[in-house]
Copies of this chain bind each other. A is one copy, B any other.
């Protein structure tokens, strides 16, 4: 995934890299991309220098995380497309994505382009993601479970919006709010 292999890492190096990655994942998910590197290093029990040895820049760190996360999502989408009824598969994935928004602040910020430009940095993954979603969408539309006029881009935008709703929350009922959007995606009366 991270491409460059070079030479196998020393045991302690590998351990530290993993600790940093795991910690960063949790921290970014919980508090967003704004958390300082020093803080992540501290929580991972390593020095800041160690973080920078493994990830040349802060951006590289959360890229590694987001790429991983997106790959997961793409796989899930493909599985759903292969194993589940069209409408069901589409809406299951939709829920999955919006739920991710409630849980993973870092991912939301990344998807919304707050921290970096996904398409510029990992066009392949962005592409794979869109393709997987296209398949789900077109199957669902073919089965009459989703209005025929929405595009993949529309769906992605709706997902980002729903993630914002989840995260923003307020006094509203998440389930009902999402229900409204899902209802809107169904074919007209």
Contacts and interface: CB of A to CB of B under 8 A. Distances in A.
B165 A161 contact: yes
16 contacts: A112-B164, A151-B173, A153-B171, A153-B173, A154-B173, A154-B177, A156-B170, A157-B170, A157-B177, A158-B181, A160-B170, A161-B165, A161-B168, A161-B177, A164-B164, A184-B185
A12 interface: no
A112 B162 CA distance: 13
Contacts of A123: none
Contacts of A176: 149-151, 154
Contacts of A177: 154, 157-158, 161
Interface residues of A, number: 34
A35 to B, nearest CB: 15
A165 B173 contact: no
Q: Which of A154, A162, A179, A182 has the most CB of B within 10 A?
A: A154
